[in-house]
Chain A
Amino acid sequence: MAISKDEVRKVARLARLGLTEDELESMAGHMESILEFVAKLSEADTEGVEPTAHVLDLTAELRPDEPHLDGNATEIMKSAPDAGFGFFKVPKVIGGEEI
């Protein structure tokens, strides 16, 4: 299972990890050995087997629609690395993602 440095670079970008060239190199080596290791999964016969997303046979419980605030908004804001005017401050956002 070969994984190219460019592929690793792409994944690092996707994960927003700023890896140096050296780190990309060693990461590629690591990922390659892991992928070799997990390749044994293809030996298992999974024909017709359902994937397990949850080990419990539970269904989602629902929360009644009762509004409640813990009153710790100020405490939450205190953890912000940068804040001002009651907002969280971030480097300028350009374009971007909107739902």
Chain B
Amino acid sequence: MNIPALAREIADQVRSGILKASDVTEYYLDKTEKLNPAINAFITIDREGALDRAREIDSMVERGEDPGPLAGVPVGIKDNIATHALRTTCGSRMLEDWVPPYDAHVVRRLRQSGAVIMGKLNMDEFAMGGSGETSFFGPTRNPHSLEHVPGGSSSGSAAAVAAGMVPLALGTDTGGSIRQPAAYTGITGMKPTYGRVSRFGLVAFASSLDQIGPMALDAQDAALLLSVIAGHDDYDSTSIRDSALIYPIDIKEKLRIGIARNMLDSIEHSGVRASMDRAISFFEEHDYEIHDITLPHSEYGVAVYHILATSEASSNLARYDGIKYGHRAKDFSDLQDMYLRTRDEGFGMEVKRRIMLGTYALSAGYYDAYYTRAQKVRTLIRQDFAQAFEKVDVIIAPMTPTPAFRLGELADDPISMYLMDSFAVQANMAGLPALSVPAGYDGSLPVGLQILAPQMKDEYALRVAMDFQEAGQWHHRVPVEVLP
């Protein structure tokens, strides 16, 4: 039996009865169970749940019903998205055994679209990290080189898709957490416009930046998954009305491209630089109207990001107190001691660092110097984009300064790790849609091109990515570590 790698092909064949969802699911489960010990992409594999669902979909098809646009497509879900009755850990000891009593909005939509939920994907603890190494459940490895990180925080999502364990995965992106691992693993990952996908059920890290998005082998599949999860939700006050996305993307006009010159010029890595030069040549050769643009305040991006994200995180993570759910310390002398020990034991070091910094930034006497100032610079970054988008439809920029680094390489150097997000955080600052599309290789390691668009113009970024991916066909390369 020939099981396709692409989601849209699986869905087409399941809907038309050529393929059985249960065969597809069985195939991907087997593959996952075989590869997971080496890659550690999944925290929880829900074999029974997935097969039950697949059989339901098969009987729907037999009855002549349409299971939906993702009929029989196995999907992995990042483990910070709540799944009813399926453990949701956030990669943390704090939630090691937490079983949500409800489904996230996106999960409900997936279920309604005929998708088969395969399980929950590994991630940096509470989505804090850029390598997958802060997970309580151990690091995920890059399918292109097991010695390298897959990026993070959506480490498991990226690795699972790249390794062909699932055709689609949901990731979340607060400061690059979908796009950076997508770049490191040679897949397509997109952070949609802030507010286009409901955050209800996404365990909050930094609420004003967090966004759920699709991770897939190519731009069409990413668009398909986004079309299922995008749209207004009554339970999210930051959800945009009329924000559905129509699949397939239908944009005829030739889009104008802006090149983020100052970001490109800052690239020192030769492999990444070569990929970027090649990308620009592609757009020139294909008669795109190209403009140089500048984002003068982008240099502040990581600093702004760090203050805002840690501040919000310190607030969002205050609820983990050992009382209502999650970890509680075994030994304690009184209530205060219970709090201290529970949170000390439940959180890993990177999470504690961020809680500490955020608590400090919000505390009396420092609030204006840090939080308010960061919010003001955020305004400047947004204004830069607003100006740039007056003359271009999309902006292209490098995704990461280097390809994936080795496991442990930056473990003791948090700031260098944070700087890996320099290009990624810009989109989160301004709530813009942005994606990473495969743009070449440096040796065995993939390099990504970033495409950003104005708010609610997610389709533009996807359209340009579809054109671009045809140039190099890098999205079809199978990672060496998973070759049979």
Contacts and interface: CB of A to CB of B under 8 A. Distances in A.
A61 B337 CA distance: 40
B288 interface: no
A44 B297 contact: yes
Contact of A81 (B307, B323, B341): B323
Nearest to B196: A56
Interface in A38-94: 38, 40-42, 44, 46, 49-56, 58, 60-61, 63, 70, 72, 75-76, 78-82, 88, 90-94
B377 A12 contact: no
B335 A38 contact: no
Q: Which applies to chain B's interface (DSSP): helix, strand, loop or mixed?
A: helix
Interface string B297-309: 1011001101100
Interface size classification for chain A: 35 or more
B34 interface: no
Contact of A38 (B208, B307, B323, B339): B307
Contacts of B321: 16
Interface stretch (B119-127, B143-151, B233-241): B233-241
Contact of A51 (B326, B353, B376): B376
B325 A52 contact: no
A73 B418 CA distance: 40
29 contacts: A8-B356, A11-B360, A11-B363, A16-B321, A17-B347, A27-B352, A27-B353, A27-B356, A41-B300, A41-B304, A41-B374, A44-B300, A44-B376, A46-B373, A46-B376, A49-B376, A50-B376, A52-B375, A52-B378, A55-B208, A56-B238, A58-B238, A79-B324, A80-B324, A80-B325, A81-B326, A81-B327, A88-B324, A91-B337
Interface of B: 98-99, 101-102, 194-195, 208, 234, 237-238, 240, 297, 299-300, 303-304, 306-307, 314, 318, 321-328, 332, 334-341, 343-344, 347, 352-353, 355-357, 359-360, 363, 370, 372-380, 382, 414-415, 418, 429-431, 455
